[in-house]
Amino acid sequence: MASSTLICDTEPWKELRAHVEDINKTHLRDLMNDTSRCQSMMMEFDGILLDYSRQRATTGTLNKLFSLAEAARVKEKINRMFNGERINSTENRSVLHVALRAPRDAVINSDGKNVVPEVWQVLDKIRDFSERVRSGAWVGATGKALKDVVAIGIGGSFLGPLFVHTALQTEAEAIECARGRQLRFLANVDPIDIARNITGLNPETTLVVVVSKTFTTAETMLNARTLREWISSALGPQAVAKHMVAVSTNLKLVEQFGIDPNNAFAFWDWVGGRYSVCSAVGVLPLSLQYGFPIVEKFLKGASSVDQHFYSAPFEKNVPVLLGLLSVWNVSFLGYSARAILPYSQALEKFAPHIQQVSMESNGKGVSIDGVPLPYETGEIDFGEPGTNGQHSFYQLIHQGRVIPCDFIGVVKSQQPVYLKDEVVSNHDELMSNFFAQPDALAYGKTPEQLQKENVAEHLVSHKTFSGNRPSLSILLPSLNAYNIGQLLAIYEHRVAVQGFVWGINSFDQWGVELGKSLASQVRKQLHASRKKGESVEGFNFSTKTLITTYLEASADVPSDPSTLLPKI
Ligand SMILES: O=P(O)(O)OC[C@H]1O[C@H](O)[C@H](O)[C@@H](O)[C@@H]1O
């Protein structure tokens, strides 16, 4: 396929389009009766069981999807990624988050240079620094050990680390390692987020980690200046050196901010923000909280999936299968959303993280060559842990729109609870729902079944479930640092596969720029109006009215205020 040919013009795409008609004649109720089909749609990798038999697909569909992958040159694109080629062409960058978790002796080149030693240099520095902080060898300005950490960052410099932290928080080994320590995340520029995050913290015992790939993100930098003020107003400006460290690719700006370059932890432009949790972005705050050895296990779990993704044949390749099935659901069956439903409260921040990984990567309107696409890419990802979601939005999933669901379950709970007189353990109760929901979606309930149950005639249509609603199930053996790494890498690579098929650049994010530049115009206006009383100009009627109303109603804000920090 010539690079400017769109995938929708290839034979495999057209064949899949035509194949939709065959699939529309099937119902999951019947497809699920075919045991050999179901058997072929289950696989195991490194302790993880993947069951995609409840997808609206046959083995024939899968074969057509493999042909589509071939037409899209997915294998070649995976190789180019692992070989450090500049596949993020609009930013002229390699995409090498896999190097962040590669074993020490691996060789992964970017521009002819093996990047793995550099990666391990930073990891070793993190191991050393986090051990010094955790042991109390590194102390704050007043000689006290730093037991609490506030990580400031947003987007990719926040969501991944928050997901991993939340997942580890209730894990037995991690709990032991984190005793007496706190890790908090300050992301939003909303001063309420500052108030929430400094409440109960003492600057004397707090370490602030400023996390920003660019070190220019407006929200992060204002929050960083605010916490710098919080520290220096309590302990004096010289305390900043002991209480603030940074993670960035822009070490020059880190130094200009006033953070000692020795306390800066680098990463590289070949790590995309939303793919950066395995760099110092995640590894530093998580190592401060849990110790490096636990975080190393997380990296190993991700690395295991990386090797599998790179080398397993597509028929037995978890991220590839998941990616192709998502393309099938979005581009052929027309399902524009995807629900991520972990049956584990520890994974409550997984869906928010994957929202960025997926939607920022694949929500594009043009091909990698800049050609407007006649088909839509990306999907609307959302999710909540089960069973909470069941009591919230599942109604729509069961009887309203069709939304392919990812059910993620865990065999061994991090926190088992048994009550002597209960029918099952608390985790079995949770998992009963995990096993039941996919069948409820697939099979539904027919009017005939309802009539047999003597349901009143006027309620039959209300109580009917059409079924035939696709889902897939991922069963993890447990939820330790290693498994969390595996899960992360599966989803990262799945998103890449989708982008490779759609022929887009999944690694840039130009769509976030316009809002930023318009906000800067508004910021200038707010400054000019508050400080010099200038009237609101240069906006459309609606925006002008909104800003003017806001300014008039908050005219009591002093035009030259002295520093005010949250009092909570
Ligand atoms: O890490 P930073 O440079 O501060 O960037 C934080 C975030 O900024 C933007 O919103 C980008 O779209 C995100 O991809 C990025 O993760």
Question: What is the rounded distance in angstroms from the CA atom of residue 103 to the CA atom of residue 303?
Answer: 8
Does 96 reside within a domain? no
Among residues 516, 524, 527, 531, the one annotated as catalytic is 516
Q: What angle do CA 277, 250, 213 make, to 5 degrees?
A: 25
Of 90, 93, 97, 154, the one to substitute when testing ligand 1's pocket (max ligand atoms within 8 A of C-beta) is: 154
The pLDDT, as a whole number, for residue 1 is: 42
Measured by CA distance, the residue closest to atom 14 of ligand 1 is 273
Ligand 1 centroid distance, CA of 103 (Å) = 27
Q: Is the CB of 548 under 6 A from ligand 1?
A: no
> What's CA 554's distance to the chain center, in Å?
37
Measured by CA distance, the residue closest to atom 13 of ligand 1 is 155
Quick one: tokens of 349? 């921040």
Q: Is 391 a catalytic residue?
A: yes
> Within this chain, do residues 230 and 326 fall inside the same structural domain, yes or no?
no
> Within this chain, do residues 248 and 354 fall inside the same structural domain, yes or no?
no
Q: Is the CB of 214 under 6 A from ligand 1?
A: yes
Q: Is 360 a catalytic residue?
A: yes
Residue pair 495/381 in contact (Cβ under 8 Å)? The answer is: no
> Within this chain, do residues 251 and 330 fall inside the same structural domain, yes or no?
no
Q: Is the CB of 220 under 6 A from ligand 1?
A: yes
Question: What is the rounded distance in angstroms from the CA atom of residue 202 to the CA atom of residue 298?
Answer: 30
Domain that holds residue 27: 7-72+312-444+470-508
Containing 247, the helix (H) or strand (E) segment is: strand 244-248
Measured by CA distance, the residue closest to atom 10 of ligand 1 is 155
Comparing CA positions, the residue from 503, 508, 506 lying closest to residue 6 is 503
Among residues 171, 360, 379, 384, the one annotated as catalytic is 360
Of 214, 248, 276, the one to substitute when testing ligand 1's pocket (max ligand atoms within 8 A of C-beta) is: 214
Question: What is the rounded distance in angstroms from the CA atom of residue 245 to the CA atom of residue 284?
Answer: 10
Ligand 1 centroid distance, CA of 215 (Å) = 9
Ligand 1 centroid distance, CA of 469 (Å) = 35
| Alpha-helix runs per DSSP H in 115-158 | 116-135
Containing 138, the helix (H) or strand (E) segment is: none
The pLDDT, as a whole number, for residue 568 is: 75
Query: What is the position in ligand 1's atom list of the atom closest to the CA of 211?
Result: 1
Residue at a domain's end among 256, 273, 297: 297
Q: Is the CB of 142 under 6 A from ligand 1?
A: no
Q: Is 429 a catalytic residue?
A: no
Quick one: tokens of 513? 């720029």
Ligand 1 centroid distance, CA of 463 (Å) = 46
> Within this chain, do residues 421 and 519 fall inside the same structural domain, yes or no?
no
Q: Is the CB of 223 under 6 A from ligand 1?
A: no
Q: What angle do CA 199, 223, 178 make, to 5 degrees?
A: 50
Q: Is the CB of 248 under 6 A from ligand 1?
A: no
Of 209, 213, 362, the one to substitute when testing ligand 1's pocket (max ligand atoms within 8 A of C-beta) is: 213
The pLDDT, as a whole number, for residue 105 is: 97
Question: What is the rounded distance in angstroms from the CA atom of residue 187 to the CA atom of residue 128?
Answer: 26
Among residues 252, 391, 524, 531, the one annotated as catalytic is 391
> Within this chain, do residues 43 and 143 fall inside the same structural domain, yes or no?
no
Does 98 reside within a domain? no
Of 210, 215, 216, 217, the one to substitute when testing ligand 1's pocket (max ligand atoms within 8 A of C-beta) is: 217
Q: Is the CB of 224 under 6 A from ligand 1?
A: no
Question: What is the rounded distance in angstroms from the CA atom of residue 274 to the CA atom of residue 476?
Answer: 23
> Within this chain, do residues 216 and 319 fall inside the same structural domain, yes or no?
no
Ligand 1 centroid distance, CA of 279 (Å) = 14
Of 254, 279, 506, 512, the one to substitute when testing ligand 1's pocket (max ligand atoms within 8 A of C-beta) is: 512
Measured by CA distance, the residue closest to atom 9 of ligand 1 is 155
Positions in the chain whose pLDDT score sits under 50: 1-2
Ligand 1 centroid distance, CA of 296 (Å) = 25
The pLDDT, as a whole number, for residue 560 is: 82
Give the number of domains in the chain. Answer: 3
Ligand 1 centroid distance, CA of 218 (Å) = 10
The pLDDT, as a whole number, for residue 328 is: 98
> Within this chain, do residues 346 and 396 fall inside the same structural domain, yes or no?
yes
Query: What is the position in ligand 1's atom list of the atom closest to the CA of 220?
Result: 4
Query: What is the position in ligand 1's atom list of the atom closest to the CA of 155?
Result: 16
> Within this chain, do residues 348 and 360 fall inside the same structural domain, yes or no?
yes
Does 77 reside within a domain? no
Does 230 reside within a domain? yes
Q: How many residues does the chain have?
A: 568
Does 450 reside within a domain? no
Does 534 reside within a domain? yes
> Within this chain, do residues 332 and 276 fall inside the same structural domain, yes or no?
no
Quick one: tokens of 69? 């992958």
* Domain containing residue 19: CATH number: 3.40.50.10490
Residue at a domain's end among 297, 322, 350: 297
Instruction: Tell me the DSSP string of 57-115.
Output: --HHHHHHHHHHHHHTTHHHHHHHHHTT---BTTTTB---GGGGGS-TT---EETTEE-
Does 107 reside within a domain? yes
Helix/strand/coil for 559: coil
Ligand 1 centroid distance, CA of 94 (Å) = 17
> Within this chain, do residues 352 and 369 fall inside the same structural domain, yes or no?
yes
Ligand 1 centroid distance, CA of 156 (Å) = 6
> Within this chain, do residues 328 and 416 fall inside the same structural domain, yes or no?
yes
Query: Does the pTM exceed 0.95?
Result: yes
Give the other-Cβ count within 10 Å of 287's Cβ.
24
Residue pair 490/305 in contact (Cβ under 8 Å)? The answer is: yes
Residue at a domain's end among 297, 325, 355: 297
The pLDDT, as a whole number, for residue 146 is: 98
Question: What is the rounded distance in angstroms from the CA atom of residue 324 to the CA atom of residue 507?
Answer: 18
Does 50 reside within a domain? yes
> ipTM of the predicted structure?
0.98
- Strand 471-476 to strand 48-51: parallel, antiparallel, or no bridges (unpaired)? antiparallel
Ligand 1 centroid distance, CA of 106 (Å) = 29
Q: Is the CB of 281 under 6 A from ligand 1?
A: no
> Within this chain, do residues 132 and 162 fall inside the same structural domain, yes or no?
yes
Q: Is the CB of 361 under 6 A from ligand 1?
A: no
Quick one: tokens of 481? 């640092």
The pLDDT, as a whole number, for residue 2 is: 41
Q: E-strand spans in 343-453?
A: 380-382, 405-410
